[in-house]
Structure 1
Amino acid sequence: MSEFVLVAGAWLGAWAWEDVVPELRAAGHGTHALTLSGLAEKQGVPAGQRTHVQDIVAEIERHDLRDVVLVGHSYSGIPVGQAAVLVGDRLARVVFVDANVPADGESFVSGWPDGRAAVEAAIAANGGFWPPLTAADYAGQDLDDTHITRIVAGSTPHPGATLTEPAALAGPLGALPATYIKCLRDGERPSDDVAALLRGERWRLVRMDTGHWPMFSRPRELARILLDAAGPGT
């Protein structure tokens, strides 16, 4: 039995995994959907990048989890990647779901050369938070109106410091057993940094013909991929 620790991306909380969790539990695995500090039901909790890393490590250590499949979606790939290095032999595999990956000394906005100024300006104009997307921003991502309404209603402003503070990697990402899920309707190719990691022996690429939020658009397919990641050979 594996223990899945599921961390959603910017603006989202543990609730985002509600359609995926039953599939994992039905297969006999433990599931731990995690809300990061400052988001969803944890709004008001001060948070920087290191806070989010510690949220994930603390969840694993508090429950004394072993054989952990640590899953990070979008933004949360950055704290998840750092936490995966820190938890050592508790980790069975890390799965990045159309996610950013951490680079030592670089932040989330470092990877946005064309959009960095816009993100930083939005944070400054909104009291230190990155405002959630609007319904129109989800067009073309394989989401129906019900999905979009649900996401928009559940989203909360994202703590800006988590996006601007640099990552601190305690070890090389390429040494981790990892699966990278590329959602093709959000771009057909992984970023250059991910492509470099995929050339290593321990990283695998899986493609999904859906948009950037597969936990809503294709939850059963995503669950099957996660179950496969937890299978033999991890």
Structure 2
Amino acid sequence: MKPFVLIHGAWGGGWYWRDVTRALRQAGFPVLTPTLTGMGERAHLGHAGVNLETHIQDIVHHLSYEDLWEVTLVGHSYAGMVITGVADSVPERLTRLVYLDADLPEPGESRFDLQPEERTWWEERAQEGDGWRVNLDLPEALLTDAIPDSTVRRWYLERSQGQGQPIGTLRQPVRALNPAGRVLPRTFLGCRQDVLGMRSGLYGRMAQRAQADPQVQYQELEANHFAPVSAPARVVEALLNLRGQVEQ
């Protein structure tokens, strides 16, 4: 069976695909969930030099060392930047890119280009700490609507609180897509439920960009931006439907 490789977003790790991974494997698919440098269980490897290219190379090397081909590469949130760069490097290993409520950059754009209104916040938070990363510090009450199940919400917070996102990953632009990477099938799965202003902000804009691009297939999920944790069954259903389209 052709594999899914699932890439987490900011302040995350491979861990947050737990329920999505379980269901996809039960359906018979190989699933891999690598964690990016400086995140999750690899937090101790973070340093001031970590940038977007670091994370792109994390996945390029993962695909190579695991000998993965015909991959459906899924990026959630910030990881849209990562999968775009991976497609530039090793398009021959991929069959489709899936942007799950994710950054959808044009060549030469950084995360700060996509969300300039948040740059000052990020830069100031980084300077309050060690200068190169921003630690997550969310009160549980803020996530009540985003992750209604209290057990799942606490599980998520136990792993994400205190995680540091290297700010270099947001400053560095993604390289220009080579022709092979540009023609890979791309799907944007937009999460229509608005929590914490995400649908009305960056990810609403990304959904509009996807809908306006004839090279991007656009679909919507009845879920919010935290879908891998808050609505894993809907994510799985969407991914299996896409896989069915590929294999028909």
| TM-score computed with the length of structure 1 as normaliser | 0.91
Shift, 1:31, TM fit: 0.6
Q: CA deviation at 1:140?
A: 3.0
Are the counterparts in 1 of residues 190 and 207 from structure 2 also a CA contact under 8 Å? no
SS in 2 for 1:233: helix
Map 1:108-123 to 2 at 5 A. 108-123=111-126
Q: CA deviation at 1:196?
A: 3.9
Give the match for residue 210 of structure 1.
Answer: 223
Shift in Å, 1:44: 2.6
**Is 1:221 aligned with 2:225?**
no
Aligned to 1:129: 133
Preserved contact between residue 131 and residue 157 of structure 1 (Cα < 8 Å): yes
Deviation at 1:161, TM superposition (A): 1.2
Distance in 2 separating the partners of 1:209 and 1:193 = 17
The secondary structure found in structure 2 opposite 1:9 is: coil
Question: What percentage of residue pairs aligned between the two structures are identical?
Answer: 30
Segments of structure 2 that go 5 or more residues without pairing to the other structure are: none
Partner-residue secondary structure (3-state), 1:34: coil
Number of residue pairs the alignment of both structures matches: 234
Work out the CA distance in 1 between the residues paired with 2:186 and 2:19.
23
The farther-off stretch of 124-133 and 1-10 is 124-133
What residue in structure 1 maps to residue 158 of structure 2? 153
- SS of alignment partner, residue 245 of structure 2: coil
In structure 2, what residue type is equivalent to 1:88?
P
Q: Note closer, same or farther for the CA distance 1:50–1:179 as it changes in structure 2 (3 Å cut).
A: same
Report the aligned-residue RMSD: 2.1
Q: CA deviation at 1:192?
A: 4.4
Query: Among 178, 181, 188, which residue is 2:186 paired with?
Result: 178
Q: Specify the alignment match of 2:108 in structure 1.
A: 105
Give the TM-score taking structure 2 as reference length: 0.86
Q: CA deviation at 1:102?
A: 2.6
Distance apart, 1:197 and its partner CA: 4.2
Structure 1 residues without counterparts, runs of 5 or longer: none
Q: Which secondary structure state, in structure 1, belongs to the residue aligned with residue 72 of structure 2?
A: strand
Measured in 2, the distance between the counterparts of 1:223 and 1:44 equals: 31
1:167 maps to a residue whose letter is V
In 2, the alpha carbon distance for the partners of 1:78 and 1:96 equals 9
In the TM superposition, 1:33-182 aligns within 5 A as: 33-45=33-45, 46=47, 47-127=50-130, 128-134=132-138, 135-155=140-160, 156-171=163-178, 175-182=183-190
C-alpha separation between the residues in 2 aligned to 1:210 and 1:230?
Answer: 20
Which of 105-114 and 216-225 deviates more? 105-114
Q: CA deviation at 1:62?
A: 1.1
User: Per the alignment, do residues 232 and 184 of structure 1 end up closer, same or farther by CA in structure 2, a change over 3 Å counting?
Assistant: closer
Q: Cα deviation per residue 1:106-162 (whole Å; 9 max; x = unaligned)? A: 221222222211111111212121121402442432533222212211011111211
